Structure 1
Amino acid sequence: MRKLIYFFFSVVVLVLVSCTYYQLHIEESRSTVEDKQPQGIPVATAPKFKAFKNVEQKKHAFFHYLKPGIEYENHRTQKERDFLLDTKENIESGALSQAEIEQLAELSSLYSVKIPVEGPDLKWLDKMLHKVDVLPEALVLIQAANESAWGTSRFAREANNYFGQWCYQKGCGLVPLARGEGMVHEVAKFKSVQQSIHRYFINVNRNLAYRKLREIRYRLRAEGQDLLSMKSAMQLTNGLTKYSERGMAYVKSLQTMIRHNRKYLQDDSVTTE
């Protein structure tokens, strides 16, 4: 029975391998949750951030606009993590159900963690748990503010792109006005802000460039720290040196922004224009 289960699992994995390049690099036509508006998250029109004259009102509006989407992505990620943890015993005993096999195969594809030929084992599970985890709301909000100039950038307004995410197929997004000679990237265009947030979560949780962030988060969790706290957000910024060509200067700018915007990040009141 165990051999039969692993045979089926191997078939599932082989079917998924054909789109590995796509998943690792672009994911531009992926027909999964990232291309759909999640239930419970309204398709809200972004406030006209450029129209705000009062800086405090603009910051409040910006954070409150993005918070529901970030909460949704953290909830989704936590559910994925809980599922992985719930399957630990069955992985160890080799007693996975067909439904578990299919879902594990889907998650392995989404997070680019290759499953052993013999089937998932505890070493594979540990690699997955390094990637499938929540991100502090403050970190996501501050990166969005930094990358989108508080929602006023051309890419935020015209492409729903709040995180400066690139794509590499002609016509996949907007061509940067200052794109260097010989460069072919575009700034990705998203159907919704929620899609942009989702791609950001997947990018940070999967891309090799942010492995350091994930190692810091893994250590914090092992120490029993609150991963959603402002303190954790500050520590995780140290794993984002490769998010920008500015390197450590970029990290320092994020840390400064977190400190300077603490009162807005912690404010849960509803703000209107």
Structure 2
Amino acid sequence: MISTPIRRYGAAILMLLTMIFSGGVLAKTHTVTEHHKASVKKVSSTKVSSKQEYSRNSVKSSSLPDLRKYPSGTPRKRAFLRTVMPYITSQNAAITAERNWLVSKQYEGRWSPSERARLKDITTRYKVKWNGNTRKVPWNSLLERVDIIPGSMVATMAAAESGWGTSKLARANNNLFGMKCGSGKCKNGSGKVNGYTHFDSVKASVQAYAMNLNTHPAYSSFRKSRAQLRKTDQEVTASAMIHKLKGYSTKGSSYNNYLFAMYQDNQRLIAAHM
């Protein structure tokens, strides 16, 4: 029969061995866990780097980057859309804000000096004649011009005219829409494409394109078609407006058909970047 002191001594030894063994297992487990965390962190870092590689073309850069470094097809298209879509969205947001302000003032009789100045600025930029009398504001002409161009349509035209940002005109002039200079109005320097407008930034190119479609006499029918959609509470979409654009190309309706086919082929990709 084992005495009580011996039994206690044996239990103490057993407990000590258990603690030593458990400590070793815990230490090993901790080491493995830390190694696993390090591996996960390393993998995550690799994924972020890969994503950043395809996101370098961002709004941080004012000029169009060289998109030829991306493989043709979907990778290049995505890089192009990442570059231009923020400017398109921002431009339409600015137009919408001005349009909403005009609508809110349409039936108001009181105008502050700052509101008169704002209205004067809008009518000047959109080339609408106004004599300063707030009781005789040309609302129909204003609202026909101060309106958005569907973002998907703008992106499609930019892609078509610039070869998804790879044409020399796009790279050298930041000109995404093939916009020509007026007679004798621009003399581009070395490395630029002569006869076409040079823009300091992608943003400026998008702004000029939108203002061109919203003010030039050649696109009057486009604006009237858009206004008609507004009157009937229909959405102004790319599919509704592409075929309404006349006079943009000497190819006529075949150009519109080409744009529409291109829009359909890339509709999901464009929508994913809006």
- Return the TM-score normalized by structure 1: 0.72
Match of 2:269 among 254, 264, 273: 264
Match of 1:98 in 2: 113
Q: Secondary structure at the match of 1:151?
A: coil
- Counterpart position of 1:234: 239
Distance 1:45 1:171, change over 3 A: closer
Q: Which has the larger radius of gyration?
A: 2
Unaligned runs of 5+ in 2: 1-57
**Partner residue of 1:86 out of 104, 114, 120:** 104
The worse-fitting range, judged by mean Cα deviation, of 245-254 and 164-173 is 164-173
Cα distance 1:220–1:194, how it changes in 2: closer, same or farther (>3 A)?
same
Deviations 1:4-48 (A, max 9, x none): xxxxxxxxxxxxxxxxxxxxxxxxxxxxxxxxxxxx953355342
For residues 213-272 of structure 1, what are the alpha-carbon distances to aligned partners after superposition, in whole Å with 9 as ceiling and x for unaligned?
111211222222232xxxx21221123220111111111111111111112112239xxx
Q: Against the structure 1 CA distance between its residues 117 and 268, is the aligned structure 2 distance closer, same or farther, given a 3 Å change threshold?
A: closer
2:75 is the counterpart of 1:66:
no
2:181 corresponds to which of 138, 154, 167: 167
In 1: Cα distance, 2:251 partner to 2:79 partner: 28
What are the ranges of 5 or more consecutive residues in structure 1 without an aligned counterpart? 1-39, 177-185
Are 1:42 and 2:60 matched, yes or no? yes
Q: 1:216 aligns with which of 209, 220, 225?
A: 225
In the alignment, the residues of structure 2 paired with residue 54 and residue 101 of structure 1 have an alpha-carbon distance, to the nearest angstrom, of 50
**Kept after mapping to 1: 8 A contact 2:88/2:151:** yes
Q: 1 or 2, which has the higher helix percentage? A: 2
CA offsets 1:154-175 (integer angstroms, 9 cap, x no match): 1110110001111232415744
Q: 1:99/1:251 Cα in 2 relative to 1: closer, same or farther (>3 Å)?
A: same
Structure 2 length-normalised TM: 0.72
1:54, 1:238 → 2: CA distance? Answer: 28
Distance 1:120 1:42, change over 3 A: farther
Q: How big is the alpha-carbon RMSD for the aligned residues of Structure 1 and Structure 2?
A: 2.1
Pairing partner for 2:152 from 138, 142, 151: 138
Q: Which residue of 2 aligns with 1:254?
A: 259
CA distance in 2, matches of 1:213, 1:205: 9
